[in-house]
Amino acid sequence: MNAGGFTSSMSDLNRGIMKFDGADSPKVVIVSTVLLLGAIAALIFWALRVAYAV
């Protein structure tokens, strides 16, 4: 074991706040990406509606 108590076979994406198994699985990455981009799109849409509301 290294200083953090984790084995050296751990991927780089399975560190920090992502300390659970499967944190870097393609399914989790895709879901996170969709949620993040959806939230950004919703904020942009909301901002444009509020900015140009008459």
According to the model, what pLDDT value does residue 24 have?
76
Note the pLDDT tens digit of each residue in 6-53. 555 555 655 666 667 777 788 988 999 999 999 999 999 999 999 987
According to the model, what pLDDT value does residue 50 have?
94
According to the model, what pLDDT value does residue 46 have?
96
Q: Using CA atoms, how far apart are residues 34 and 54, in angstroms rounded to an integer?
A: 32
Q: Is the pTM higher than 0.75?
A: no
- Compute the half-sphere exposure of residue 41: CA atoms within 13 Å on the CB side of its CA: 6
According to the model, what pLDDT value does residue 22 have?
76
